[in-house]
Each structure stands twice: as structure tokens, then as C-alpha cells.
Copies of this chain bind each other. A is one copy, B any other.
Amino acid sequence: MKEKLTVVKIGGKVIDQESLLDQFLKDFSQVDGKKILIHGGGKIASEKGRQLGVEPNLVEGRRITDKATLEVVTMVYGGLVNKNIVAKLQAKGVNALGLSGADANVLKAVKRQVKTIDYGFVGDVTIENVNAPIFNNFLQSGLCPVICALTHDGQGNLLNTNADTMASIVASAMSNTYEVNLIYCFEQPGVLEDFEKQIVIEELTAKTYSIYKDKGVIADGMIPKLDNAFAALNNGVNSISIGAFDQLERLINRKSGTQIL
């Protein structure tokens, strides 16, 4: 039987507000067994960027990353957010190790080709790019990888990479060795059937996902998130939950949020 591994992705408000982050990290520190944390940090990047005169430029929710923006996200994701999470986890007894994709070459990416939109220094990743042996080495050494949304191209360039996608492919790659539970934490209590009434879709299959998309119930930013979740499922990840960052334990126990089946 494979050992369990919990892969948790956080983003949004929980990263921006110290009290929320502290509570989340306390909950994360209490997760049993081996674990990996993957984080974005978009709102702080936009704020720091503005202070530095770099206006955020988002197209369909994806950040256009010119050289100045890459510098900002490198500072914010790789430095400010990552190192603070690591220091806070260390204080809570988790032997955290902060990583970008360049560190120990854990995650190489390919710079996105220009089709209609030039995303700039944005990297696309596939399961084959995940350095599963070194993650395994870190996990076996008692370390908890904390990965920020940066990869590298192997040519000396960092690349901005979607954290949801990173979580999906890291979880997928590790599922060869571990029984992986992937948890996407965000502001909402789950994938919503009714935003006003906050009614959560408790279970989502490829078929019901397709129906909800056709009806327009699931739309916009939820679609790439769910595409990532279903990709993980198809790639051997044991269970995938999507829900609120303040419900981590219940998400892990599948008592909250949306389960991807």
C-alpha cells in the first residue's frame, strides 16, 4: 500500500491577510503525514507591483508577465510570501523548505508560445517536468516542500506559472509513489451551484461538470481550476477536494467542499 501524501494549494485572501494565513498554517501544520504546500500570491504581487510602478495586466485572469512583472512576482512569490510561510511553518513544527521550480530543478517549464496573446515570461508545465525523485528525497528527509508559483526554463530564466496547474501536475507526478490527496483551498466553500445562496456542489464528475458548464453555472475562473482538478484525477491522484481555506481538516476528510470524482 502506498504511503499517503497531502498536496494543498492556497491562493487569494488567505495569503494577503496575516491572521487568516496564521490560522491556515496552524491547520496545515496539524495535517498528519507527508505534505506539500503550493501557493500563489497574486494580490500582494499586484499591490507591490503598483507601488513599484508596474501595473498588473491580467487577460482572462492570467497575468501578462513582462520583465518588470517577472521581477515583481519573483520578489513577492519567491521572497515575501514563500519565506514568510516557511518561517511561520517552522514555528509550528513543520520543517518547511521553500522552493521555486528552479530550486533543485524541481519543476522545469516551457515558455508559453505566442499565439494570439503574448503572455511574456509565463511557463507551462507537464507531469514529465516534475522532479519526483527530489521531492521524494525531501519528503523522506522529513521536509515539507513549500512551492511558489515560479518555474524556470533551464536556460537561466524564471517563469511565472499558474499555481493551480502546478498543484495538479505535482500531485499527479507524486501519485506514482504516493496515495495523493489534492486539496484546492480558496475563498468559496466549494464549487457553487448558486453563488447568492452559496450552495455547494458536493460532488462533481466529468459528466456533471460538462452539464454545469453548458448551463453556465460553472464559468470563468472556475473552469481552468476544475480542468486542473480533473487532469489530476485522470493522472492517478487519489482524491481531489475544492473548498474553503478555513476548512482544511474537513476538506481532507471529505466532509466539506466539492469532491472531484
Could you list which residues of chain A lie within 8 angstroms of chain B, going by C-beta atoms? 48, 51-53, 71, 74-80, 82-84, 86-88, 90-92, 95-100, 102-105, 134, 137, 141, 143, 150, 152, 154-158
Contact = CB atoms under 8 A, between A and B. Distances in A.
Given A95-B105, A154-B91, A100 B74 contact: no
As for how many copies of this chain the complex holds, the number is: 2
Nearest to A108: B90
Given A51-B53, A75-B48, A158-B83, A96 B103 contact: yes
- What is the interface of chain A mostly: helix, strand, loop, or mixed? helix
A104 B80 CA distance: 17
Contacts of A156: 87-88, 90-92
Given A134-B141, A137-B141, 19 more contacts: A51-B53, A52-B52, A71-B80, A74-B84, A75-B79, A76-B79, A78-B79, A79-B79, A79-B83, A83-B102, A83-B158, A86-B152, A87-B157, A90-B154, A91-B154, A91-B156, A95-B105, A96-B104, A98-B103
Of A51, A97, A100, most B-chain CB atoms within 10 Å: A97
Of A48, A96, A102, most B-chain CB atoms within 10 Å: A102
17 contacts: A51-B52, A74-B79, A75-B75, A75-B80, A83-B100, A83-B102, A86-B100, A86-B102, A86-B152, A87-B102, A87-B158, A90-B102, A91-B154, A96-B102, A96-B103, A97-B103, A98-B102
Contacts of A102: 83, 86-87, 90, 96, 98
Contacts of A91: 154-156
Contacts of A141: 134, 137
A48 B92 CA distance: 31
A46 to B, nearest CB: 14
A74 to B, nearest CB: 5
